Chains A and B, each alone.
Chain A
Amino acid sequence: MKQPSDLVISLFDAALLRTASVLVPSLQREEWRREWSAELWHVRRSYAGIDNTFSLESQREITAFCLGAFPDALCLRTQPAKGIAAPVHVHGSALQTLLWLSAALALCFVISRLLPGVQAENDAAQYQIKPGVLLVSEAVASGAAPSISATLYQNWKATRQRFFRELAFYRIARETADAGTISLSLNVAHSTANLFRLLDLPIKYADGSDDAEGNLPAVILSHDTWMRSFAGNPHVAGHVLRIGHTRVRIAGVAPAGGWQLPGRPDAWLLESNAQIAAGSASRTNGYLFARLSPRGLASMSGSGISISARNQDGTEIDLYGASIPAPVEGPWGIYEFAIFLALVALPAVISVSLGETHVSSHRPSTKQRLSRILFFTAKFLLIAAIGFSASLDLAYSNTIGYSPFAECLQLLWCFTICLFGFRWAVADQRKRCPVCLRRVSHPATVGLASRTFLGWNGTEMICMGGHALLHVPSLPTSWFGGQRWLYLDSSWDFLFADNGVY
């Protein structure tokens, strides 16, 4: 006669099996359930008493048996079907690490290609002003303030120059631009037509057509203005707009970040020499640029040249022609500096020793040592490359154009990423088995700190491939200063089954 408690527990056991069966793949579920039901029948019969009742102990044993169905079901769920190769166990493997780093690098690279600020930074570095071009200003004035009048430029232009081959001039004025539907207030640089040629700056999206509007003065838009007011329209050249009272034709767009000279023009209105010095504009100061002739180059000492000139009224003025420094370091220049700083600072954050001390006579083969070096080098190079791309992404994520502040950010981010990335690479390398390059695991504390002078204490880790033990002292002593590898011989093999099979 079955007791009510037996009935409840047998129902509970059956429910356990049914719940576990949910974990079994559907194709195997029916057979699995049949096997476990049959086994349960035999288990219950073996534990049943003479009067077919169950003691509490027996019930517990039967329930424990049913609970074993869960690991079995999970085993069927996780193991690949027969005939399908088991996936390679790569957790913590060298290959997995390199794949992760490569994926991170690819992601950073793709993001950097999409950020307009990064493009502007590259352009700024690309369009450096070549040596031999001087910014001429009054000796007493600072280079940033306009100090040369258009009249003086005209005088120089009209007379034969010994030291200068070509001259260009511009002055900045605030003007209103009317582009039909939109009206803009722009910083317009009224410049001579040869300004861009003298500075070797290309004009993008230039319109080569010679239409009816070809006689209008040409205006070059800055990259920011083009993006902001013309939505980056690549066919903007040829459009007519009005600047002040003058109708002008858009001739192209200046490269992003290409302008590194005084003033922040939104547009350059290219004018003839007569227009530059016409009316009240002749008294407005601007910036004068000169390209040195071979004779001028020969006579120039240092980064500048002192010039004495006569003013319109015959008075002498002292001028100074300064070569234009490259304000843009360029992403590569900043990157190289950041890498240098990171390498210098690395010993301050981690000991650069890789802990190659061995306490047994066994040594890894040359091939294994070479693999270890190659793996370490690959990690280092990937981290350095990630530092370059990621720092650009972070520095220019909020900037659409070239900015000195973004360059500082790039330097900071690149230094930080490289420093801590290299630190990780060294620390990771120390935990890699010299034979198979897998990370050691299963840390175990050995010894007692209070007995440091009697025996070593620290952490012991093991390579799951069964190749070596890593001993890391918790308190470095004169006789156990750094980590040590202990290679395991074949007598340890029985502890290590094949790749995760059993």
Chain B
Amino acid sequence: MLRMAAEIKLSHTAAMILQAISTGYVYGFSIMEMTGLPSGTVYPAMRRLERDDLIRSQWERQSIADAEQRPPRKYYKLTAAGRATLETSRKRYPLLERLISTEEAKTT
């Protein structure tokens, strides 16, 4: 399964979104801000990635959102297959890690 996932060829956009999620941009708007892609690209791409089990979504707990007086958000994280695919994509797109690095996410 992991091997098959790693063989999936992602477009550069999809690879950027996976990289953004892996570096800590875990909801749609933050991925938009990080990648500079419009909402009409980011959300459909995330639907497809989720359909192919490369990412998984999870709703934030209501109590946390209530405490911060905001609506709960839907967070995304990589699956094992998504991580394997991202590794393959990093080899295909060597600049991917430079575009969105982990350090950048930490400072954001």
**Chain A interfacial positions (CB closer than 8 Å to B):** 34-35, 37-39, 41-43, 45-46, 64-72, 74-76, 79, 82, 493-494, 496-498, 501-502
Contacts and interface: CB of A to CB of B under 8 A. Distances in A.
B98 interface: no
14 contacts: A34-B71, A35-B73, A41-B71, A42-B27, A64-B38, A64-B39, A65-B29, A68-B42, A69-B39, A72-B39, A75-B43, A494-B93, A498-B9, A501-B52
Q: What 5 pairs between A and B have smallest CB-CB spacing?
A: A68-B39, A68-B40, A75-B44, A72-B43, A71-B40
A112 to B, nearest CB: 47
Given A39-B73, A43-B29, A494-B92, A67 B40 contact: yes
Interface in B39-54: 39-45, 47-48, 51-52
What band does the interface of chain B fall in when counting residues whose beta carbon is under 8 Å from A? Answer: 20 to 34
A38 B71 contact: yes
Dominant secondary structure at the A interface? helix
Given A68-B38, A496-B9, 14 more contacts: A38-B74, A39-B29, A41-B70, A42-B70, A45-B70, A65-B32, A68-B40, A70-B40, A72-B44, A74-B44, A76-B47, A493-B9, A498-B8, A502-B14
Contacts of A79: 47-48, 51
A71 B29 contact: no
Contacts of B47: 72, 75-76, 79
Interface of B: 8-14, 27-29, 32, 38-45, 47-48, 51-52, 70-74, 92-93
Dominant secondary structure at the B interface? helix
A38 B72 contact: yes
A493 B45 CA distance: 20
B48 A75 contact: yes
A498 B88 CA distance: 14
A501 B8 contact: yes
A495 to B, nearest CB: 9
Contacts of B43: 68-69, 71-72, 75
A382 to B, nearest CB: 35
A74 B43 CA distance: 11
A425 to B, nearest CB: 34
B49 to A, nearest CB: 8
Contacts of A76: 47
Contact of A39 (B12, B27, B45): B27
A72 B40 contact: yes
B58 to A, nearest CB: 12
A42 B27 CA distance: 11
A70 B13 CA distance: 19
B71 A37 contact: yes
Contacts of A74: 44
A502 B48 contact: yes
B32 to A, nearest CB: 8
A436 to B, nearest CB: 16
A108 to B, nearest CB: 42
Nearest to B13: A502
A46 B108 CA distance: 14
Nearest to A497: B11
A64 B43 CA distance: 13
Given A35-B74, A38-B73, A46-B29, A501 B48 contact: yes
A501 B11 CA distance: 9
B69 to A, nearest CB: 11
Nearest to B44: A75
Contact of B51 (A69, A71, A82): A82
A19 B29 CA distance: 20
A71 B70 CA distance: 26
A64 B42 CA distance: 13
Nearest to B46: A72
Contacts of B71: 34, 37-38, 41
B45 to A, nearest CB: 7
Contacts of A66: 39
A75 B41 CA distance: 10
Contact of A71 (B11, B32, B44, B72): B44
A79 B51 CA distance: 9
Contacts of A496: 9
Contacts of A75: 43-44, 47-48
